[in-house]
Amino acid sequence: MKTNTGRGFLKTTAWALGLATAVSFSFGGTRATADTLADALIGAYTHSGLLQQNRALLRAADEDVPIALAALRPIINWSSDLSQVFGDTTSSSTGGLTRSIDTTTISLDLTASWQLYDFGADAARVEALKETVLATRASLLNVEQALLLRAASAFFNVGRQENFVALSQNNLRLLQQELRAANDRFEVGEVTRTDVSLAEAAVAQARSNLADAERNLIQAQAEYANVVGRQPGRLAGLPALPRTETRIEAAQAVAVRSHPEMETARRQVSVNELLVNAASKDMLPVVSLSGSLSIEEEIGGEDSTEQGVIGLNVTGPIYQGGRLTALERQAIANRDAARGNLHNVRHDVQQDVVDAISDYNAARASLAASERQIRAARVAFQGVREEATLGARTTLDVLDAEQDLLDAESNRISAQADQYIAAYAVLEAMGLLTAQRLKLPVQLYDPAAYYNLVKDGPVKRSRQGQQLDRVLRALQVDD
């Protein structure tokens, strides 16, 4: 049965239509003193414990280089000994008399060793560790990329959910007014109980949708606070879309050349090639120089000894149960595994580019389609509303048309957020989503600064060692 929906309902719906349109665009508007995307990215870069963790792991890798270099330098140690000998001795030379042999002796020993030549085995290990440092730097950069993409996604998702909440609240207000109007019209016999029940069902559904939207907003805000380090304030308007490559082949070429995962994999291949070289030379002789100086003196006596020794040592393996050859084969297998990993990483990076650009193009197409959907849904809604005034449409028809328009507005909000997230995902897939390339106004972490301080193995009491202590204190992280 077709019933007249009444002009009060039509005015309410027209008001809601205008507000829904305004809400859907508020994510793209400008608000004074609001949080911008740059604020979110800066907060993530300066707040992240994950970045701090991986920077510390990089510093630990830096220290492996001076530790390995120590094997190529002279090693000097000292030792001191204080000993007490007590007892008696009887000798025929003294006519069988018993004599005390109680003595107290103190000694000081200095020992030095210096590996002169090992055919470059340890030098290869040092170079391998330098390559490991570079691989760890690339891993840190990859963590930074993932963090900034997560922060950007959190920013746009908060905006998305805020608009969904606003749309849901607006829809609920509209349907509550329609329910009141339906009850009034039912009292005068203008509509049936069916129209009232339809309005009641629509209100109940709108409350459920609002509850879902509010839950999603709370979760989006929690994600934002987790990544950025604080709760989001009012969000500013959408920034300009970042400039990014949309041609798959060109983007893949950049990714293979620049992505941190590719750099890590390449460095790991170099590491393992150097370790194969070192393992093959472990079967060759090692030439080293050694020396010692010892002083021993009897306390309270006249005996003392001073002695120095210097020697040239040549050592080499003869048989170690197959251990050295097994280590060499193991190093070769690890090198082959690293080469296979580089192959896999290259293909994964190229696929990630395809996925990211496909998502970006799909989001752009979805946004354009949602614009057309909104125009069509608005025309349809206006037509259904006019027909309802003539009794040619029911309350359900009007509610359905209005829901279609709200769905179209929601689709536009999602497509707009998805487009921005996908654009930054393309940058991340190409290896270009870093604080430096984005020109974020932050104090950039210099991964080489700490390495330059420790690479020569400064002693603690040197000027460089004291500078290093100050750096370490400044890097201390409070829980």
Name, of 93-102, 260-269, 459-468, the range with top average pLDDT: 260-269
Greater confidence, 168 or 135? 135
Q: Does residue 144 carry a pLDDT above 60?
A: yes
pLDDT of residue 473: 65
**Cα–Cα distance, 33 to 100 (Å, whole number):** 94
DSSP 3-state assignment of 339?
Answer: helix
Q: For 431-464, what is each residue's pLDDT tens digit?
A: 999 999 999 999 999 999 889 988 887 766 666 6
Q: For 69-80, what is each residue's pLDDT tens digit?
A: 998 999 999 999
Q: Does residue 21 carry a pLDDT above 60?
A: no
User: How many C-beta atoms lie closer than 10 Å to residue 434's C-beta?
Assistant: 20
pLDDT of residue 389: 64
- Sketch out the chain's domains with CATH numbers: 7-73+132-273+337-366+393-445 (1.20.1600.10)
Choose among 304, 281, 313: nearest CA to 112: 313
318 CB-side CA count, 13 A:
2
